[in-house]
Chain A
Amino acid sequence: MYINWQLKQLNLKIVYTGPALSGKTTNLEQIHAQIDPQRRGDLISLKTNEDRTLFFDFLQLELGKICGLTPSIQLYTVPGQTYYEATRKLVLRGADGVVFVADSSPDRIDENIEAWKNQFRHMESLGVDPQRIPLIVQLNKQDLPNAVTTDTMRRSLDLNGSPVIEAVAIKSRGVFESLKTIIHAVILNVQQEIT
């Protein structure tokens, strides 16, 4: 979070996490494709030769004013592949909110659980209390046959109050709802933190 009272700037960082190939980059691509080009920057992607996320994807959005401040929302993804654990941790640094993109395939429950636990380990190693960071879960690929239900995912990840949003990111379903939900939670959290 970066606040400049003189310039009335409020910059927030939201990170999309989740297992490999769950649709984190697809979320940013969909947002990028649908936003007015005047109100967003380029989509920056640091990829491997195989088109997989190497370090992060990045996209900045400019929202309208909220009570005099102009929020700028910076969206990042982490690399999902296990091999890139070290860089995944670095992207989480300074995050104001997290969208965990889970894969609804029943075969990938274990990967979801591992990525879910992994992000908390990283937060703790960065000195961040995971309880204090707004976090939502996007249950992506709901169009798959036998897609995991919200109730099953809640049990698998042992979710308490975190919102769960069903999505088919490749068709943009649930993408903006997830974005709206996390921005809402983050701004409420900012208000609590600075007052």
Chain B
Amino acid sequence: MSSSISPQGQINLRSGVIMYPSHQKAIDQQLDELLERTPAYFLMLSDSAGQVVSARGERANINLAALGSLVAGDMAASQEIARLSGAYEDCQLILREGKKLTTFICEAGDSLVLLVQVTPDVPLGWARMVIRDAAASIGTIIATPPEEGEITPRLEIENINLGDFIEGALNELRKG
């Protein structure tokens, strides 16, 4: 596989996700609605490699980056378990029921994963239904070409010494 540019100017990466402003807006709307409609205690959208896209709700002191990596790992492991045991289906959903919070982790299209936590007063059947709906909508959004006129900026790195820049950035990180 290789990256390519569609007639609409959308870049299709070999792997990973590019979020255009139109995607961001539509997904933000979906997540806001999901938070309210469920209602969810906390929700987070990440890509299947663990990169966090967006989060809503009661975050407290959650380390989102770490949570994204664990959610992606959890989903990847569950997909593989399903595959190995011959139970694989599209739109995998993991349910972890708890006394204080119940956690759903659901595929949202091919490249995104949605985590939603609900309190015990939310009926699980209802939560499962609205989460699946939202996940499907998000999957559709991210697969839609960007709106006309959404220009992809270039990474203007031709004119800088990238080696020096990265060395400087890493040295800066180590100063603390």
Please indicate whether A and B come from the same complex rather than being unrelated chains. yes
A193 to chain B, nearest CB (A): 5
Whether B14 is near chain A, meaning CB under 8 Å from some CB there, is yes
Contact partner of B162 (CB less than 8 A), chosen from A86, A179, A188, is: A188
Contacts of A187 in B (CB 8 A): 155, 157, 162, 166
Q: Is the CB of A11 within 8 A of B73?
A: no
- Summarize A's interface: helix, strand, loop or mixed: mixed
Contacts of A91 in B (CB 8 A): 73
- Summarize B's interface: helix, strand, loop or mixed: mixed
Kindly state the separation between the CA atoms of A187 and B155 in the bound complex, as whole angstroms: 9
Contact partner of A69 (CB less than 8 A), chosen from B2, B66, B155, B175, is: B155
- Which of the four size classes fits the interface of chain B? 35 or more
Interface hub of B1, B2, B65, B80 (most chain A Cβ within 10 A): B65
B70 to chain A, nearest CB (A): 7
Q: Is the CB of A44 within 8 A of B47?
A: no
Chain B positions 48-103 with a Cβ under 8 Å from a chain A Cβ? 48-51, 53, 63, 65-66, 69-70, 72-73, 76-77, 80, 84
Whether A76 is near chain B, meaning CB under 8 Å from some CB there, is yes
Chain A positions 62-77 with a Cβ under 8 Å from a chain B Cβ? 62-64, 66-69, 72, 74, 76
Flag the segment in B17-25, B32-40, B123-131, B132-140 that touches A: B17-25
With contacts A2-B53, A67-B155 known, is A87 near B77, CB below 8 A? yes
Q: Which residues of B contact A (CB under 8 A)?
A: 1-3, 11, 13-21, 24, 47-51, 53, 63, 65-66, 69-70, 72-73, 76-77, 80, 84, 150, 152-157, 160, 162-163, 165-170, 172-176
